[in-house]
C-alpha cells in the first residue's frame, strides 16, 4: 500500500510585500484624489466670491450721480465703518484706473480669505462721421468707458489661475432727462417708459404729489402661507398721465413678513436699507455688512424660507450703525421677543417681522415701517366724485407736510366721515386707511437733515410731497375692529387669510370692518379700528412686546328705521259749531288714513322722510247756513328716520267752504 502525503503552502514574504505596496499605492491615490477634490471645491468657492466682488464693482461704477464734477475722487470723504466713498459727488468723469464709484481698490476680506480688487479703464469717443468708437480723443466728451475689473487671491500653485476678471462698458447718458442735473457728455435719449394701469377708488386713493403727478398704493395682499408665516405685499407707485397713457415715474415694491428665528452668536449681517437724501432728491441706500448679532430662520414654510433667511440674519441693530431697524434703539441690538412675550437669548426661538424692499431687483431688509396716522370712514363715500374723498386727500397732504416739517395747513380729519347713517337691518363696509412715513438720512446717517427739511418747507418746491417717502395704505383687512355697542351695531374682525380674488372680491376671503345695524338708535355705536405702528401690525403678529404702540380711530354709526317701515300716527278731533257733520280728509292721501272722529290717523313712509301731514274738512252741500271748512295745523318733518307720534290739536269747521 502506498501512502500519499501533501504539504500546505502559505504566502511568501515577497507576495505579502507586493500586496502591501499595491494597497499603499491605492491609499495614496485616493488621498491625492480627495485632496484634489477639496482643493477644487475651495477654488470654486473662491472663484464665486471673486466673481461676486467683481460684479459689485461693475454695478458700483455705473451708479454715478453726475457726468462731471470738480471734486477729485481721491479727495471724497470715506465712511469710517464701511470704507466706502460717500456718494453725493460721484461722477462719470471720476471713473479711471482704480478710481470711481464707492468701493475702493485693494484688499477685501471675506471670511478667512483675502481678495485683491483693481480695475483699469479706457475712454472711447465717437468721431462724428460714421459714429465709430475710438480711443482717440476726437470729441470733447467721453461717450463711454471700457472697464476691466480684476479680482485675485493667493492660492496654491500657479497664481495666474487665481484671478477672475470681467469687462464692461459704462456709458455716459443725458442727465437732463433725470432730476440729477449735471452736464451731459453726449446727446442721449430718454430711458425706457414704464406704462402703468392706475387702480381705482374707493379701495385705492390717489394723492397728488406734484403738478400732474399722483401717488397711490395697491391693496395690501395678505398671504398666510402657514400658521407661522404671513407675507403682506403691496406697491407704491408715483405716476403721471401722458395723453391716453399713464406712466410710472417711481415704483416701490414691498414685502412684510413674519418669521420664526433662532438667535445665534455674532456674525456678518446687513445694516438697514434706508432712504438717502442727496440734496435735491431721495434714493434707496443699501445696507452694508458688519459683524453684529444674527439669527437663523427655523421652522418656516418653504414659501417663506428665502425671505426669512434675510429677515432673521439682518434684522438686528448694532451700535456701529447710526441707522437702526427699530425706532428708539440707541445702542446694541433691539430686544427680540418670544411668543410668550419674554426676551429671547442665544439658542432660543423668537418671532420677527421684517420689512423688505426690492432694490436693484432683490428684496433687501429695510428700515421698519412707521405708521403715523389711521382714519376710519365709510367705504362707499370714498368713491370718486364724493366730497369725503376730496376732504380726506387734503387732510393727508396737510398731515404729511406737518408731520415731516411742521408746514402745510392744520391737519383736521374730514367732518363728513362721522357719523355714518345706516337703516335698520342694513350692512355696509367701513374702510380704515393709514399713512406710513419713512425717515430720510444724509450720508452721515443723520435723520431728516436740514437741507431736506428746508426743501419740504419751501412752498415753491412743487414736488416737495413727491420727495417725501410716504405710503397711504388701505388697512381695512389688516387693522383690528370693535364695536362698543354690538347689540346695536356689530362689526366683523375675522382672522386674516390669503386673499383669493383681490381684483373682484378683495373683502370676500375674510371679513373685517363689515358693519351690521341691528337696533334702531342714535347714536347706535362707536366703531373703533386699531393698528400697531410697526411691522407686526401688517403681519398680524399677536402682541409679543410688552408695550406695543397702537394707533386707533373711531366713528359713530347712527341706526334709523329701515326703508318703508317708519310711521307717523296720533289723534285728531274736529268740532262742528254750525250743527253739521262731514267727512274729513288727510294728506298725503296715498300714505295716510283716518279712523273715525274723534279718533286716530296713521301714515307710513319710507325712511328718511321729508314732507307735511294735514287733516281738513270741507262741507259745501246741504243747508247753506251749515256749510263750512276747517283744517288742522300742519305737521312737517325733514329727514325723519324714526317712528313718531303727533297728536293734532282740535280744530273747528267754522270757515266758509272752499
pLDDT digit string, tens, across residues 88-143: 557 888 899 999 888 889 998 877 789 999 999 999 887 765 567 888 887 777 88
Q: Concatenated DSSP letters for 267-278?
A: EEEEPPBEEEE-
Question: What are the residues whose beta carbons fall under 8 Å from the beta carbon of 186, sequence distance 6 or more?
Answer: 126, 139, 141, 143, 172, 174
C-alpha–C-alpha distance, residues 538 and 477, integer Å:
9
C-alpha–C-alpha distance, residues 425 and 509, integer Å:
23
Q: Which residue has the cell 410688552?
A: 546
**196: confidence class by pLDDT, cuts 50, 70, 90:** very high
Q: What's the sign of the alpha-carbon dihedral 543, 358, 447, 219?
A: negative
**83: confidence class by pLDDT, cuts 50, 70, 90:** confident
Q: What is the mean pLDDT of residues 231-259?
A: 96
**66: confidence class by pLDDT, cuts 50, 70, 90:** confident
Which has the closest alpha carbon to 529: 515, 517, 541?
515
Whether residue 90 contacts residue 100, with contact meaning beta carbons closer than 8 Å, is answered with: yes
Overall number of domains in the chain:
2
**What pLDDT, on the 0 to 100 scale, is given for residue 449?**
95
Q: Is 358 exposed, middle or buried (0-12, 13-18, 19+ CB in 10 A)?
A: middle
- Taking 90 as the threshold, does the pLDDT of residue 229 lie above it? yes
Q: Is 288 exposed, middle or buried (0-12, 13-18, 19+ CB in 10 A)?
A: middle
Q: Concatenated DSSP letters for 376-418?
A: EEESGGGSTT-HHHHHHHHHHHHHHHHHHHS-SS-----GGGS
Q: At residue 196, what are phi and psi to the nearest 5 degrees?
A: -140, 145
- Taking 90 as the threshold, does the pLDDT of residue 481 lie above it? yes
**599: confidence class by pLDDT, cuts 50, 70, 90:** confident
**82: confidence class by pLDDT, cuts 50, 70, 90:** low
Q: What is the mean pLDDT of residues 376-399?
A: 97
**What pLDDT, on the 0 to 100 scale, is given for residue 632?**
92
Give the domain range for residue 593: 566-652
Three-class secondary structure of residue 381 per DSSP = helix
Q: What is the mean pLDDT of residues 358-374?
A: 94
The residue among 639 and 267 whose pLDDT is bigger is: 267
C-alpha–C-alpha distance, residues 578 and 620, integer Å:
13
Q: Concatenated DSSP letters for 44-89?
A: HHHHHHHHHHHHHHHHHHH--SBS--SS-GGGS-B-TTT-PBPSTT
Q: What is the DSSP letter of 406?
A: S
Supply the pTM of this predicted model: 0.66
C-alpha–C-alpha distance, residues 424 and 560, integer Å:
6
**73: confidence class by pLDDT, cuts 50, 70, 90:** confident
Q: How open is the CA angle 48-358-249, to the nearest 5 degrees?
A: 130
- Taking 70 as the threshold, does the pLDDT of residue 184 lie above it? no
Q: What share of the chain in percent tops pLDDT 70?
A: 88
pLDDT tens, residue by residue, 510-539: 999 999 999 999 999 999 999 999 999 999
C-alpha–C-alpha distance, residues 359 and 270, integer Å:
14
Q: Which residue has the cell 404729489?
A: 209
Asked, for residue 444, whether it belongs to a domain, the answer is no
Q: How many Cα atoms occupy the beta-carbon half-sphere of 647 within 13 Å? A: 6
**What pLDDT, on the 0 to 100 scale, is given for residue 100?**
87
Q: What is the DSSP letter of 645?
A: E
- Taking 50 as the threshold, does the pLDDT of residue 594 lie above it? yes
**331: confidence class by pLDDT, cuts 50, 70, 90:** very high
> In the listed set 148, 177, 206, which residue is the last one of a domain according to the structure?
177
Beta bridge partners of 122: 146
C-alpha–C-alpha distance, residues 79 and 71, integer Å:
17
Question: What are the residues whose beta carbons fall under 8 Å from the beta carbon of 119, sequence distance 6 or more?
Answer: 57, 61, 97, 98, 105, 147, 148, 149, 150
Q: What is the DSSP letter of 626?
A: G
Which has the closest alpha carbon to 271: 441, 99, 91?
441
Q: Report the chain's mean pLDDT, rounded to a whole number.
A: 87
Which has the closest alpha carbon to 119: 103, 134, 133?
103
**What pLDDT, on the 0 to 100 scale, is given for residue 159?**
55
Q: Which range has the worst mean pLDDT, 118-127, 282-291, 460-469?
A: 118-127
Grid cell, residue 345, equals 437669548
C-alpha–C-alpha distance, residues 487 and 567, integer Å:
23
- Taking 70 as the threshold, does the pLDDT of residue 36 lie above it? no
> In the listed set 177, 199, 226, which residue is the last one of a domain according to the structure?
177
pLDDT tens, residue by residue, 424-445: 889 999 999 999 999 999 988 9
Asked, for residue 100, whether it belongs to a domain, the answer is yes
Asked, for residue 427, whether it belongs to a domain, the answer is no
Whether residue 266 contacts residue 256, with contact meaning beta carbons closer than 8 Å, is answered with: no
Asked, for residue 247, whether it belongs to a domain, the answer is no
Asked, for residue 611, whether it belongs to a domain, the answer is yes
Q: Are strands 427-437 and 512-517 parallel, antiparallel or unpaired?
A: antiparallel
**What pLDDT, on the 0 to 100 scale, is given for residue 93?**
83
Whether residue 653 contacts residue 626, with contact meaning beta carbons closer than 8 Å, is answered with: no
Grid cell, residue 253, equals 415694491
Q: What's the sign of the alpha-carbon dihedral 70, 75, 81, 84?
A: positive
Question: E-strand spans in 74-141?
Answer: 106-110, 113-126, 133-134
Three-class secondary structure of residue 396 per DSSP = helix
**What pLDDT, on the 0 to 100 scale, is given for residue 187?**
40
Whether residue 154 contacts residue 112, with contact meaning beta carbons closer than 8 Å, is answered with: no
Q: Are strands 592-595 and 480-483 parallel, antiparallel or unpaired?
A: unpaired
> In the listed set 177, 192, 227, which residue is the last one of a domain according to the structure?
177
C-alpha–C-alpha distance, residues 514 and 277, integer Å:
42
**What pLDDT, on the 0 to 100 scale, is given for residue 179?**
40
C-alpha–C-alpha distance, residues 430 and 555, integer Å:
10
**What pLDDT, on the 0 to 100 scale, is given for residue 408?**
82
Q: Which residue has the cell 405716476?
A: 239
Q: Is 558 exposed, middle or buried (0-12, 13-18, 19+ CB in 10 A)?
A: buried
Asked, for residue 210, whether it belongs to a domain, the answer is no
**326: confidence class by pLDDT, cuts 50, 70, 90:** very high
Asked, for residue 432, whether it belongs to a domain, the answer is no
Count of other CB atoms within 10 angstroms of residue 537: 27
Asked, for residue 638, whether it belongs to a domain, the answer is yes
- Taking 70 as the threshold, does the pLDDT of residue 591 lie above it? yes
DSSP run (H or E) holding 210: strand 207-210
Q: What share of the chain in percent tops pLDDT 90?
A: 60
- Taking 60 as the threshold, does the pLDDT of residue 490 lie above it? yes
- Distance (Å) of CA 105 to CA 113, 151, 264: 16, 10, 33
**173: confidence class by pLDDT, cuts 50, 70, 90:** low
Q: What is the mean pLDDT of residues 12-24?
A: 79
Amino acid at each position: 500500500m502506498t501512502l500519499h502525503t501533501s504539504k500546505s503552502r502559505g504566502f511568501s514574504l515577497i507576495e505579502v510585500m507586493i500586496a502591501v505596496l499595491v494597497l499603499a499605492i491605492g491609499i495614496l491615490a485616493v488621498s491625492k484624489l480627495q485632496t484634489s477634490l477639496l482643493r477644487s471645491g475651495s477654488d470654486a468657492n473662491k472663484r464665486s466670491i471673486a466673481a461676486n466682488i467683481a460684479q459689485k464693482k461693475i454695478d458700483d461704477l455705473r451708479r454715478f450721480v453726475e457726468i462731471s464734477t470738480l471734486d477729485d475722487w481721491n479727495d471724497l470723504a470715506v465712511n469710517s465703518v464701511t470704507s466706502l466713498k460717500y456718494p453725493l459727488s460721484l461722477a462719470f468723469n471720476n471713473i479711471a484706473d482704480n478710481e470711481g464709484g464707492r468701493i475702493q481698490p485693494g484688499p477685501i476680506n471675506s471670511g478667512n480669505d483675502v481678495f485683491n480688487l483693481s480695475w483699469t479703464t479706457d475712454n472711447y469717443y465717437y468721431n462724428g462721421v460714421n459714429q465709430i468708437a475710438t480711443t482717440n480723443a476726437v470729441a470733447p466728451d467721453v461717450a463711454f468707458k471700457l472697464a476691466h475689473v480684476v479680482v485675485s487671491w493667493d492660492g496654491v500653485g500657479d497664481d495666474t489661475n487665481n484671478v477672475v476678471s470681467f469687462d464692461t462698458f459704462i456709458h455716459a447718458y443725458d442727465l437732463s432727462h433725470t432730476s440729477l442735473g449735471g452736464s451731459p457728455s453726449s446727446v442721449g435719449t430718454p430711458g425706457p417708459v414704464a406704462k402703468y394701469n392706475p387702480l381705482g377708488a374707493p379701495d385705492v386713493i390717489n394723492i397728488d404729489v406734484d403738478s400732474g403727478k399722483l401717488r397711490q398704493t395697491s391693496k395690501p395682499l395678505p398671504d398666510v402661507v402657514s400658521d407661522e408665516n404671513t407675507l403682506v405685499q403691496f406697491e407704491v407707485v408715483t405716476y403721471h398721465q401722458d395723453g391716453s397713457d399713464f406712466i410710472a415715474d417711481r415704483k416701490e415694491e414691498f414685502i412684510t413678513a413674519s418669521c420664526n428665528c433662532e438667535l445665534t452668536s455674532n456674525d456678518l449681517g446687513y445694516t438697514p436699507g434706508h432712504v438717502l437724501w442727496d440734496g435735491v432728491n431721495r434714493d434707496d441706500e443699501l445696507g452694508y455688512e458688519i459683524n453684529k448679532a444674527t439669527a437663523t430662520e427655523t421652522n418656516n414654510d418653504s414659501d417663506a424660507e428665502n425671505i426669512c433667511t434675510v429677515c432673521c440674519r439682518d434684522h438686528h441693530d448694532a451700535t456701529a450703525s447710526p441707522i437702526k431697524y427699530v425706532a428708539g434703539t440707541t445702542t446694541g441690538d433691539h430686544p427680540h421677543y418670544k411668543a410668550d412675550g419674554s426676551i429671547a437669548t442665544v439658542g432660543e426661538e423668537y418671532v420677527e417681522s421684517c420689512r423688505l424692499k426690492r432694490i436693484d431687483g432683490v428684496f433687501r431688509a429695510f428700515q421698519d415701517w412707521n405708521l403715523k396716522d389711521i382714519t376710519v370712514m365709510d367705504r362707499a363715500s370714498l368713491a370718486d366724485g364724493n366730497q369725503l374723498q376730496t376732504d380726506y386727500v387734503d387732510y393727508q397732504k396737510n398731515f404729511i407736510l406737518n408731520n415731516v416739517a411742521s408746514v402745510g395747513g392744520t391737519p383736521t380729519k374730514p367732518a363728513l366721515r362721522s357719523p355714518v347713517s345706516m337703516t335698520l337691518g342694513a350692512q355696509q363696509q367701513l374702510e380704515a386707511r393709514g399713512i406710513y412715513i419713512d425717515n430720510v438720512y444724509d450720508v452721515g446717517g443723520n435723520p431728516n437733515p436740514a437741507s431736506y427739511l428746508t426743501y419740504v418747507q419751501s412752498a415753491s418746491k412743487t414736488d416737495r410731497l413727491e420727495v417725501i417717502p410716504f405710503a397711504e395704505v388701505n388697512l381695512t383687512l389688516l387693522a383690528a375692529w370693535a364695536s362698543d355697542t354690538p347689540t346695536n351695531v356689530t362689526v366683523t374682525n375675522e382672522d386674516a387669510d390669503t386673499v383669493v380674488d383681490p381684483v373682484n372680491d378683495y373683502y370676500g376671503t375674510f371679513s373685517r370692518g363689515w358693519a351690521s345695524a341691528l337696533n334702531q338708535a342714535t347714536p347706535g355705536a362707536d366703531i373703533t379700528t386699531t393698528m400697531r405702528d410697526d411691522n407686526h401690525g401688517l403681519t398680524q403678529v399677536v402682541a409679543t412686546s410688552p408695550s406695543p404702540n397702537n394707533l386707533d380711530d373711531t366713528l359713530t354709526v347712527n341706526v334709523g328705521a329701515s326703508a318703508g317701515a317708519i310711521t307717523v300716527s296720533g289723534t285728531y278731533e274736529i268740532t262742528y259749531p254750525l250743527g253739521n257733520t262731514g267727512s274729513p280728509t288727510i294728506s298725503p292721501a296715498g300714505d295716510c288714513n283716518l279712523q273715525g272722529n274723534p279718533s286716530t290717523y296713521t301714515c307710513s313712509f319710507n325712511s328718511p322722510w321729508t314732507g307735511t301731514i294735514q287733516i281738513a274738512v270741507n262741507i259745501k252741500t246741504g243747508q247753506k247756513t251749515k256749510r263750512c271748512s276747517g283744517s288742522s295745523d300742519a305737521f312737517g318733518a325733514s329727514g325723519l328716520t324714526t317712528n313718531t307720534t303727533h297728536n293734532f290739536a282740535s280744530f273747528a269747521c267754522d270757515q266758509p267752504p272752499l
